[in-house]
Amino acid sequence: MMSAPADLRNASNSLGKSLASDAQNRPVVIPPMPDYSGRVLAYTATAIIITVGVWEEVFQTWHLWLVAGALMWPHIAHLLSRRTFLKNSSRIRQKMLMVDSLIGGSFMGCIGLIAIPSACAGLMVMFSALIIGGIRQWLIGCVYMFISALAFLALVGPADSFQSPLFTSLFSILAAGFYICVTAFYSHQQARALMLAKTQIQNQREQSIALSHKLSKYLSPQVWQSIFTGERDVRLETQRKKLAVFFSDIKGFTELSEEMEPEALTELLNHYFNGMSEVALRYGGTIDKFVGDSIMIFFGDPTSRGQREDAFACVSMAIDMRKHMKIMRQKWRSQGIKSPLEIRMGISTGYTTVGNFGAENRMDYTIIGKEVNLASRLESLAEPGEILVSYETFSLIKDRIMCRDKGEITVKGFGRPVPIYEVVDFRRDMGPNRSFMEHEHSGFAMYLDSEKITGKERQSILSALEDAAERLRHEEDSARD
């Protein structure tokens, strides 16, 4: 006989305010019936059953003492569980439920297991146990109730008749039914409110995910992921790390910007940045920033695959960008842009300071150091379509990438001249067995990487090349005639 059951800081602040505003409209979660109220209701129902039973002379007169006990026990239990050392017990509700199961069984034994009153009392105990503790608590409660009922039945003896008069049976059923209905009502209301709250929380979660994905457009995916997964705090802090730093810009872009309308120039630049960003992310680069037509990318933070692999990934990305630029240039020609736009790139590897720079209310995740200046200088010295790397980078990639010695340069911040190298290509793509081929003329551009072509695509490409060759031969024959 027991009761029923109980930035990104600015962006995150905006998100918090949004969620707080939504929380004001959140459905109120109705708490379960308090233990004290439920216990008072259950034991009052039991007291009514005893009183009616004594009045109809089904129970013995001394059973009236059980009425006093039933009316006093809820207050005693509340005092024990809230005002004594027992309040610190983590499982006080389950323990008090076991006591209620013993009392319920004792009552059943004292009245001699008269059928309907005993069944109603047992039903209230089992209903409470099932709601509060689930199947396990219900089984334990049933065992406790059964043992205490047998014990008191052995002391008092069974009743002369297991049948009870009409009024005693009726009041027993009504009292137990009223308790069960009130408890079920509280449980239903709580479950309904919880479902509404769950729906509200799901909607807020979807809104926060959508907002976080919008915010991710302003950060490199690696940085955004480390922040929103809790791996990195949004605070002013830096650390020293050995990174591979990449700079690139477009040769001839300044002259082009004077010839094109701003809208067309913006479209071209966004197309270029979008293509190069896809290449950078494919190789795991952290995109630092876009400045004019320049791109700054670094490898080795927030995640690193080791210095050698980071440097190799950075140079591999640069080679892929150079190849991708040929495709983009051909597309621009088809759009009427005839200026021969070329990309030039510089890469250096060394220790830099990386982290959040700025103020508490406005931070920028970036890197500083002489290696950054060196990469920028290499990019400015590179010829169109050329990739220049520092000696440190060359030493890490020379076994897999062919480079050419370009001499030495003097760079501010370095005590002695810096050896630099030009990236030629992957060693695997050198010689007759290379997988990559490229050819470019006005009106024609070919970019072929046989390792990336599937069998189905191979037939389509062969057909297109044969058609193109046949057309060129036919036009050449016509020109001769």
Give the range among 57-61, 191-195, 384-388, 449-453 with minimum mean pLDDT: 449-453
> Residue 3 and residue 36: Cα distance in Å, rounded?
7
- 444-449 and 387-390: which strand pairing? unpaired
Unique residue bearing structure tokens 């501010």: 412
Q: Which residues pair with 366 in a beta bridge?
A: 355
**Which two three-digit tokens encode residue 344?**
């030039």
258: tokens are 């004077």
Give dist(CA 358, CA 374) in Å, integer: 23
What pairing do the DSSP bridges indicate for beta strands 238-251 and 286-291? unpaired
Sign of CA dihedral 166, 167, 168, 170: positive
CA distance 386 to 403: 11
SS3 439: strand
Paired tokens of 187: 């449980």
How far is the C-alpha of 242 from the C-alpha of 457, rounded, in Å?
Answer: 41
Alpha-carbon span 249 to 233, nearest angstrom: 32
Other C-beta atoms lying within 10 Å of the C-beta of residue 469: 10
The one-letter code for the residue type at 110 is C
Confidence grade of residue 167 (pLDDT, cut at 50, 70, 90)? confident
What pLDDT is stored for residue 13 in this prediction? 52
Q: Are 136 and 93 in contact (CB under 8 A)?
A: no
Once rounded to an integer, what is the mean pLDDT over residues 310-325? 93
Which residue type occupies 381? L
- CB environment 126-164: b (16+ within 10 A), e (fewer): bbbbbbbbeeebbebbbebbeebbeebbeeeeebeeeeb
Residue 121 to residues 112, 193, 386, Cα–Cα distance (Å):
13, 30, 90
pLDDT on residue 23? 45
Contact 418, 374 (CB under 8 A): yes
pLDDT of 346? 95
pLDDT band at 431 (very low <50, low <70, confident <90, very high): low
Looking at residue 56, its pLDDT comes to 87
How is residue 293 annotated by DSSP?
A: T
Give the phi and the psi of residue 438 in degrees, each rounded to 5. -150, 150
Question: Rounded to an integer, what distance in angstroms lies between the CA atom of residue 100 and that of residue 141?
Answer: 9
- Given a contact cutoff of 8 angstroms between Cβ atoms, the answer to whether 133 and 4 are in contact is no
* Predicted local distance difference test score (pLDDT) of residue 435: 58
**Tens-digit pLDDT profile for residues 73-104:** 888 888 887 766 666 666 777 888 888 888 88
Instruction: Please say whether the beta carbons of 97 and 141 come within 8 A.
Output: yes
Helices (H) and strands (E) in the chain, counts: 13, 10
First to last CA, the chain: 109
How would you label 395-423 residue by residue, b for 16+ Cβ within 10 Å and e otherwise?
ebbeeebbbeebeebebeeeeeebbbbbb
Asked whether the predicted pLDDT for residue 168 surpasses 70, the reply is yes
3-state DSSP assignment of residue 294: strand
Highest mean pLDDT among 218-227, 265-274, 336-345: 265-274
Distance CA 300, CA 296 (A): 14
Are the C-beta atoms of residues 281 and 223 closer than 8 Å to each other?
no
Contact indicator for 429, 435 with CB cutoff of 8 Å: yes
pLDDT tens readout for residues 2-27:
443 334 445 445 545 554 455 445 54
How far is residue 468's CA from residue 460's CA, in Å, rounded to a whole number? 12
